[in-house]
């Protein structure tokens, strides 16, 4: 079914309703169904390409100043938002590019003034594709070096800032982008340029043109009945709206049941904190 065919059917059923209202309800119901579950048919397999730390040349820093100067550096605009650290110290700053040899930090430098100091600019935060809407707990479970553990951003913030082979990740939203884009933070920051396989749940395409194809796995009735319920309520036919809402819910329940039948068994794994005592059972 195309978006154009759906609108034609609904405008014939409700000729007195503005086309703008019909289109709005179509999009609302379509997105409601897509966000109902992390549908397996919307799962996308991708590869997160990491960036190796940059440490060419040296950096000069001044206590209490957010400005830094590089010697023998070729800093680039793409390094903005990466993490800057003088290698002899622990604290980490957010780097903002100014020129190939000048940059600013997100706060005044806290260490002692140093010239020609060894430094590192690493990247721990990576943007995901624009259509990424959700990450499952095991999104990074298929990596060759072992699955990455999901943590919250505050939990990642408790760790010492370092680089190495990533062991954990946290998701967040980049509010500076329009619309906000999903991103992940890796810990520790990758020390090599590598590809990390992962999976994400993609959002469905917007219903923008009449030729847009609806998801072929979506039950058409769940879509049409849900939209009809909204239109009936708009026309103040509340009894009709209730009837079609019940039918839409029944059809959506069938979609959920079909989805569940295709899922593999899920084994509950408990944290070692709750199971490590078992090794001592039977010991005198």
Q: Is residue 268 part of a domain?
A: no
Indicate whether 138 and 47 sit together in one domain: yes
pLDDT at 284 over 90: no
CB atoms within 10 A of CB 184: 24
Domain span holding position 7 = 3-39+217-261
Residue where a domain stops, chosen among 68, 101, 122: 122
Task: Pick the more confident residue, 276 or 155.
Answer: 155
Per-residue pLDDT, 133 = 87
Q: Is residue 266 part of a domain?
A: no
Using a pLDDT cut of 70, give the percent of the chain over it. Answer: 90
Q: Is residue 270 part of a domain?
A: no
pLDDT at 257 over 60: yes
pLDDT at 279 over 60: no
Q: Is residue 207 part of a domain?
A: no
Indicate whether 117 and 19 sit together in one domain: no
| pLDDT digits 0-9 by tens, 131-171 | 898 898 889 987 777 889 999 888 877 666 678 889 999 99
Indicate whether 222 and 237 sit together in one domain: yes
Q: Is residue 269 part of a domain?
A: no
Indicate whether 130 and 197 sit together in one domain: yes
Indicate whether 19 and 150 sit together in one domain: no
Residue range 116-129: average pLDDT? 94
H-helix or E-strand containing 48?
Answer: strand 43-49
Residue range 207-234: average pLDDT? 89
- Say if residues 207 and 192 touch (Cβ distance below 8 Å): no
Distance from C-alpha of 103 to C-alpha of 77, rounded to nearest angstrom: 10
pTM equals 0.74
Indicate whether 47 and 164 sit together in one domain: yes
Angle between helices 220-234 and 19-34 (to 10 degrees): 130
pLDDT at 277 over 70: no
Range from 80-84, 154-158, 228-232 carrying the lowest mean pLDDT: 154-158
Q: Which residues contact 38 (CB under 8 A, 6 or more apart)?
A: 134, 136, 201
Number of domains in the chain: 3
Range from 29-33, 156-160, 162-166, 218-222 carrying the lowest mean pLDDT: 156-160
Indicate whether 163 and 222 sit together in one domain: no
Distance from C-alpha of 280 to C-alpha of 112, rounded to nearest angstrom: 51
């Amino acid at each position: 079914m195309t978006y154009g065919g759906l609108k034609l059917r609904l405008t014939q059923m409700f000729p007195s309703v503005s086309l703008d209202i019909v289109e709005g309800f179509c999009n609302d119901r379509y997105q409601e169904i897509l966000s109902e579950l992390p549908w397996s048919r919307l799962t996308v397999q991708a590869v997160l390409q990491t960036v190796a730390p940059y440490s060419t040349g040296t950096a000069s820093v001044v206590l209490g100043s957010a400005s830094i100067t590089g010697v023998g550096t070729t800093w680039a605009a793409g390094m903005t938002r990466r993490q800057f650290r003088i290698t002899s110290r622990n604290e980490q700053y957010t780097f903002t590019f100014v020129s190939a040899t000048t940059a600013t930090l997100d706060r005044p430098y806290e260490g002692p003034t140093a010239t020609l100091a060894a430094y590192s600019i690493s990247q721990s935060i990576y943007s995901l594709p624009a259509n990424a809407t959700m990450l499952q707990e095991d999104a990074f479970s298929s990596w060759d070096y072992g699955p990455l553990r999901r943590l919250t951003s505050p939990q990642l913030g408790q760790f010492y800032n370092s680089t190495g082979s990533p062991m954990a990740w946290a998701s967040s939203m980049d509010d500076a982008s329009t619309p906000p884009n999903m991103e992940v933070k890796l810990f520790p920051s990758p020390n090599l340029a590598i590809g990390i396989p992962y999976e994400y749940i993609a959002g469905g395409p917007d219903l923008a043109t009449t030729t847009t194809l609806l998801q072929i796995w979506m039950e058409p009735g769940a879509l049409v009945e849900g939209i009809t319920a909204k239109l009936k309520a708009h026309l103040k036919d509340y009894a009709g709206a209730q009837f079609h809402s019940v039918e839409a819910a029944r059809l959506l329940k069938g979609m959920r049941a079909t989805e569940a039948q295709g899922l593999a068994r899920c084994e509950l794994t408990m944290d070692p904190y709750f199971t490590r005592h078992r090794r001592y059972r039977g010991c005198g």
